[in-house]
Amino acid sequence: MRAARLIKMVLLLQSRPSMTAAELARELEVSERTVTRDAQALSEAGVPVYADRGRAGGYRLVGGYRTRLTGLARGEAEALFLSGVPGALREMGLEDTASAARLKVSAALLPSLSDAPRTAAQRFHLDAPAWFSEPPTPESLSAVAEAVWDDRPILARYRRGSGDTDVERVLEPYGLVLKAGVWYLCARVPEHAGPGSGPFRVYRVDRFTSVQFTGRAVGPGPGPGPGPGLDGRFSRDAGFDLPAFWEERAEQFARSILRAEVVVRLSAEGARRLPYTVDPVSARDALSTGGEPDGLGRVTVTLAVESAEVAHTQLAALGPEAEVLAPPELRARFARDARRLGALYSASHPPTPPPPPAE
């Protein structure tokens, strides 16, 4: 434990010009007295740690000393690429690993670049969860993430959307996706076609009721491609591309829920704002197949929507920049809305609210 702390102290001092005892104590999660003892131990071991006295003093390495203990472990290198999503790292149990990786990279940088990580971190930050909601971390996320890292098959019990019964599946977990604060697992289902084959599917991690490592031998087999193996791991399909797979499935899902159609006449401003008001895939399809603008610059499009109710909420945001032509019931609803708005705003001054009831 102390040896690891001493190494971390050297790496910290190597990555910065100097650090106070309080700063080191905070980073190492020890007392300032322990920092003093550790600095003395490093000095006795031949590491040139120098202590500057006074209010602006601190600890620094003398003579451009640089340790060679900067090689990244595999897990640290992998976690480093996720370091821009601190919340996701914390939920998957990788926060300490990523911190060690960043420290090693900082220590390995040339002195002229030593401020680069902090400069970038103060200018760019990825906040993945959605506004106004913070879903709880799924209980099984850490185990699923471990299976993804290690290419280990899992036996998972999954609660369907209807919530009626749980379904048990053996899965080969290929990747995790964090979308608007919700975790999804992209996995292959090998049970019908055998290990290393079968369809890829997407599962919400918060619907897993239990996750176990199967311990089954799945991995390289006879001939090219995946097959049975001996190390309890599965052999990944080299052609699998997680971002491309997710983009394709997300678009398929978006299209699958668009079961109704609305005919809308849009002004130029309405056409510009449409992708920000309705589903972007639906807006793109509608605008690409719309006719030529009329004499007033308006274009008529057929828009795929979830339902007339959802379309009413979405298209209301466009105000007079969109005119619903069909279905007739939705057009009539917008006409009623317009009459109510006209009556509401026809008065030159807003009406005085009635006084509160007497107690």
The secondary structure of 164-188, three-state, reads CCEEEEEEEEEEEEEECCEEEEEEE
> Residue 8's domain is classified under what CATH number?
1.10.10.10
Q: Is residue 337 part of a domain?
A: yes
Does a structural domain hold residue 357? Answer: no
- Pair (155, 232) in one structural domain: yes
Q: Is residue 358 part of a domain?
A: no
Q: Of 250, 270, 295, which one is at a domain's C-terminal end? A: 250
Last residue of a domain, one of 200, 223, 250: 250
Same domain flag for 288 and 333: yes
Both 202 and 157 in one domain: the answer is: yes
Domain count, the chain: 4
Assess whether 273 and 200 both reside in one domain: no
Is 288 in the same domain as 246?
A: no
Q: State both tokens at 305.
A: 């929507």
Same domain, 55 and 100: no
Q: Are residues 209 and 268 located together in one domain of the fold?
A: no
- Taking the C-alpha atoms of residue 187 and residue 175, their distance in angstroms, rounded to an integer, is 7
Domain limits for position 116 = 74-121
**CA–CA gap between residue 221 and residue 91 (Å, rounded):** 35
Q: Is residue 238 one of the residues assigned to a domain? A: yes
Cα–Cα–Cα angle for 193, 211, 97, rounded to 5 degrees: 110
Residue 355 placed within a domain: no
Same domain for 155 and 246: yes
Q: Is residue 194 part of a domain?
A: yes
- Examine residue 162 and state whether it is found in any structural domain, yes or no: yes
> Within a domain: residue 68?
no
Which of 250, 273, 303 lies at the terminal end of a domain, its last residue? 250
Quick one: CA dihedral 81, 75, 101, 127, positive or negative?
positive
Same domain, 18 and 91: no
| Residue-by-residue pLDDT tens, the chain, 359 positions | 576 677 788 778 887 778 898 889 988 889 988 998 888 888 877 788 888 877 667 888 887 666 655 454 555 544 444 444 555 556 566 566 556 655 655 555 545 555 555 555 555 455 555 555 566 778 888 889 889 888 899 999 998 765 567 889 899 999 888 777 788 899 999 866 565 678 899 998 989 999 998 864 333 333 334 443 445 788 888 888 888 898 888 888 878 888 899 999 999 999 999 999 998 889 998 999 888 899 889 999 999 998 999 999 999 999 999 999 999 999 999 999 999 998 888 876 776 777 777 76
